[in-house]
């Protein structure tokens, strides 16, 4: 449905988006995840045709945004980071204007009524937008994106600034919309993306650092268990013993605490609990374990690691 190929956007010397490629299938809900300033909004602005890319192409449902902007833009509903509202208009007037602007060919009144019902602003239709709260403005922005039932919805941080109840409602709404539309939405909150999306793309410093199905992503993270150890004894002996334990995937000495004491980190597969083996191995070579801590790496840790690594590479 949406195909992004080798997208690059430069602002002077700064590469805001650096060679990004991905595709989104029909009916998929794609989460676009990254810290602030990672290039999420820039990418979305390029997909929707608000700004143009330095190089690369965006194809939506077979038509290219630069070659055929009118047709392509009709297929996209866009909710930018700041909803594009006219504060001096009433909600209904504004939606009518957007309806005309988008050249929608549906019955006007019924369609606007339906969209307002969907985002639950029917009772605010005659209010002036500048008097609405942030949450309601966001919903008006949402309604605007839904006008004309575009097959592709692009939502830039739709839940920022909302209260927890509204966030849950918006997430529910996005999930519901995902049944009929192809949705790309960005966020810097990982739990939100994993709760709403089928697939996640993690972006950092303009580059894609991870692209996986949500379940796979959390499964692959859960696959690895971590164990940190503080052991007294020669580190070569200790590492040699750890190596022999079945199920160990990765092991590394973190740092020397003192002369003979050092910290180690071990990653091992989920199906093997190696703690007892570690204990007996260390006992065998006579190196007492001073501290042993096991912990599952959370999604948040993984996210931080992914984005930090990308940062280092960038420098």
For other proteins, the binding residues (CB under 8 A) are: 11, 45, 48-52, 69-71, 73-74, 76, 78, 80, 82, 84-89, 93, 97-98, 100-103, 144
- Of 57, 82, 55, 84, the C-alpha closest to 72 is 57
Nearer to other proteins, 102 or 275 (CB): 102
> Smallest distance from the beta carbon of 304 to other proteins, in angstroms?
30
Shortest spacing between CB 175 and other proteins, in angstroms: 24
Closest CB to other proteins among residues 63, 228:
63
Q: Which C-beta is closer to other proteins: that of 60 or that of 116? A: 60
Question: How many C-beta atoms lie closer than 10 Å to residue 40's C-beta?
Answer: 26
Measured CA to CA, the distance from residue 98 to residue 143 in angstroms comes to 10
DSSP per position, the chain: -EEEEEEEEEETTEEEEEEEEEEE-TT-EEEEE--TTSSHHHHHHHHTTSS--SEEEEEETTEETTTSHHHHHHTEEEE-SS----TTSBHHHHHHHHHHHTT--S-HHHHHHHHHHHTT-GGGTTSBGGGS-HHHHHHHHHHHHHTT--SEEEEESTTTT--HHHHHHHHHHHHHHTTTSEEEEEES-HHHHHHH-SEEEEEETTEEEEEEEHHHHHHHHHHEEEEEEEEES-HHHHHHHHHHSTTEEEEEEEEESSSSEEEEEEEEETT---HHHHHHHHHHTT--EEEEEEEEPPHHHHHHHHHHHHHHHH-
**Smallest separation (angstroms) from other proteins to the CB of 81:** 8
For the bound state, the minimum distance from the C-beta of residue 48 to other proteins, rounded and expressed in Å, comes to: 4
Closer residue to other proteins, CB minimum distance, 59 or 204: 59
Instruction: Give min distance, CB of 115 to other proteins, in A.
Output: 15
Strand partners, 155: 79, 185
Residue closer to other proteins by CB (options 11, 279) is 11
- Closer residue to other proteins in complex, CB, 80/311: 80
| Cβ closest to other proteins, residue 126 vs residue 236 | 126
Minimal distance, residue 300 CB to other proteins, in Å: 30
Find the shortest distance in angstroms from Cβ 78 to other proteins: 5
**Looking at beta carbons only, is 96 or 297 nearer to other proteins?**
96
Shortest distance (Å) from residue 80 CB to other proteins: 5
């Amino acid at each position: 449905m949406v195909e992004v190929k080798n997208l690059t956007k430069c602002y002077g010397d700064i590469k805001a988006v650096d060679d990004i490629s991905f595709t989104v299938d029909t009916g998929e809900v794609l989460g676009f995840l990254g810290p602030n300033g990672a290039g999420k909004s820039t990418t979305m602005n390029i997909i929707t045709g608000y700004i143009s890319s330095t190089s690369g192409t965006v194809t939506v449902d077979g038509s290219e945004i630069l070659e055929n902007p009118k047709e392509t833009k009709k297929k996209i509903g866009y909710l930018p980071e700041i909803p594009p509202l006219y504060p001096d208009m009433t909600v209904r007037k504004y939606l009518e204007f957007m309806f005309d602007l988008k050249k929608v060919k549906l019955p006007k009144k019924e369609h606007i009524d339906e969209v307002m019902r969907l985002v639950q602003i029917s009772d605010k239709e005659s209010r002036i937008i500048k008097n609405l709260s942030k949450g309601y403005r966001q919903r008006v922005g949402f309604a605007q994106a839904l006008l004309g039932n575009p097959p592709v919805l692009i939502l830039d941080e739709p839940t920022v600034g909302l209260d927890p109840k509204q966030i849950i409602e918006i997430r529910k709404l996005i999930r519901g919309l995902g049944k009929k539309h192809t949705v790309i939405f960005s966020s810097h909150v990982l739990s939100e993306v994993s709760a709403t999306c089928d697939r996640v793309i993690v972006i950092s410093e303009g580059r894609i650092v991870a692209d996986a199905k949500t379940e796979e992503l959390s499964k692959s993270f859960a696959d690895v268990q971590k164990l940190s150890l503080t052991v007294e004894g020669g580190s070569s002996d200790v590492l040699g013993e750890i190596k022999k334990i079945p199920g160990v995937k990765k092991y590394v000495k973190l740092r020397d605490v003192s002369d003979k004491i050092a910290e180690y980190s071990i990653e091992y597969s989920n199906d093997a609990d190696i703690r007892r083996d570690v204990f007996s191995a260390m006992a065998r070579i006579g190196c007492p374990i001073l501290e042993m801590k096991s912990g599952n790496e959370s999604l948040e840790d993984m996210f931080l690691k992914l984005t930090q690594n990308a940062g280092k590479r960038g420098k």
